[in-house]
Structure 1
Amino acid sequence: MADSSTAWRSYDRPHLDPVLTAAVEAFNEVGYHGATVRDIARRCGLSVAGIYHHHAGKQEMLVAILASTMDELMWRNEAARRAGGDDPVARFCNQIETLALSHMYWLKQAAIGSTEMRALAPHNRGAIVARRAELQRHIQDDVDLAVSRGLFRTAHPKDAVRAVVGMCIQTGQWYDAGGEMSPEQVASDIVQVALDTVAYRTHAEENASA
């Protein structure tokens, strides 16, 4: 796991084994309930028995995919916050940037997190939901701190965070890898919209209005 000050901005292919990679493809194409272990086995070149040697079934595959996604999101979030130092505005911007980048670079894997949570058994769903809440809480903490310091002027910090997080997640639903803008360009725009959402005012703007 990388942890340098800039590694959270670098994205390779998701670190999934061949079975889970095939499951991601199948779940995206036909959905969790439409996918079969036999189809997943065919996609990764294994027998059905070979699949069960690695994963006990579809539920375990789904959990492993979502857990892997959350592992990546969490270490990147931590590194992004660390790179922001003591500045809650910088930490907020970094967290929004990496959340948006993750949902563009991992289009298929992230899509499963948006569409197949309902397929999880209750105890599995609860574990994933708790980790998502933890990540959002990190963003909320920096927004609340920035509000207390007069850096963010939103009167609705909780609603603002929900809106911004939702915006980051939705980039994976409309982003076109073949389009004119790179993920980094889109993420930069998302950060600016996020700052507008929390009503950020720079020192220069404050002085000009004084």
Structure 2
Amino acid sequence: MRPAGQTALLEAARQEFAERGFGSASIRDIAQRAGMSLSAMYHYYSGKQELLHALLDEGMDRYAAAVADALAAVGGSPADRLSAVVAATTRFRGEHAARSNILLLEERSLDGERQERYARRQAEATNFFREPIDAGVASGEFLTPYPDEARRGVIAMCNAVAQWYREDGPLSLDALIDRHVELALTLVEYRPQRGWSARSR
């Protein structure tokens, strides 16, 4: 558990970065928004770079945990695992738009060493999609001849939710999740074996 002041700073920085972007956000405004002095802020973080890095780590931790929980609740088939990842990602982007947009847009603002570390975490997130798609292609469950393109299309579809989805819009998040799962399985050309002959006996 973080100290209350540290938590307040992270939330203030998240709001400032989401509203103004990292480049335009002011460290003074972040401290003021958190209800503390600059000197108190520097007790926790050395500046905007460290705040951004902490926010990105926190966001990736939450996202990875959401996906892990979703995977733990399904079976081992590639279709089930891909569906779980798509559902968890769509829900996370819809429920945590500000956090997601910082994750997706502000990594470019990190300095060199921090950017390299975050790139490794992004690769781990990509593997959530890559693993079930590659497994499904290898087993013949997914028929797409273009697994890399399908993966990129599915990821882009899920990530875009953070930019356009609104809770007060005409589509509920649950309905959107169902659509995204269906679209993802279509992109990988999922062809389940229905076993009709066994059922007719």
Please, what TM-score do these two structures have when normalized by structure 1? 0.86
* Aligned partner of residue 61 in structure 1, secondary structure: helix
CA pair 50-82 structure 1, distance change in 2 beyond 3 A: same
Aligned twin of 1:37: 27
**1:50-69 to 2 correspondences below 5 Å:** 50-69=40-59
C-alpha distance in 2, partners of 1:87/1:53?
Answer: 48
* Aligned partner of residue 191 in structure 2, secondary structure: coil
Structure 1, unaligned runs of 5 or more? 2-15
C-alpha distance in 1, partners of 2:67/2:196?
Answer: 30
C-alpha distance in 1, partners of 2:48/2:182?
Answer: 40
Structure 2, unaligned runs of 5 or more? none
- Is this contact kept in 2: 1:82–1:91, CA < 8 A? no
Q: Which among 110, 113, 116 is matched to residue 120 of structure 1?
A: 110
**1:1-210 to 2 correspondences below 5 Å:** 17-204=7-194
C-alpha distance in 2, partners of 1:138/1:118?
Answer: 22
Segment drifting more, 198-207 vs 147-156: 198-207
The letter for the 2-side match of 1:30 is R
- 1:112-131 deviations in whole A, cap 9, x for unaligned? 12221111011111111111
Name which one, 1 or 2, has greater alpha-carbon Rg.
2
Aligned-CA RMSD value: 1.9
- Is this contact kept in 1: 2:66–2:92, CA < 8 A? no
The letter for the 1-side match of 2:98 is K
Segment drifting more, 16-25 vs 169-178: 16-25
* Aligned partner of residue 160 in structure 2, secondary structure: helix
C-alpha distance in 1, partners of 2:141/2:185?
Answer: 10
**Identity rate of aligned residues, in percent?**
31
- 1:48-70 deviations in whole A, cap 9, x for unaligned? 11111121111111001110111
The letter for the 1-side match of 2:33 is R
Shift of 1:205: 9.6
- 1:93-140 deviations in whole A, cap 9, x for unaligned? 001110111111110111112221111011111111111111212321
Shift of 1:23: 0.6
* Aligned partner of residue 34 in structure 1, secondary structure: coil
Aligned twin of 1:5: none
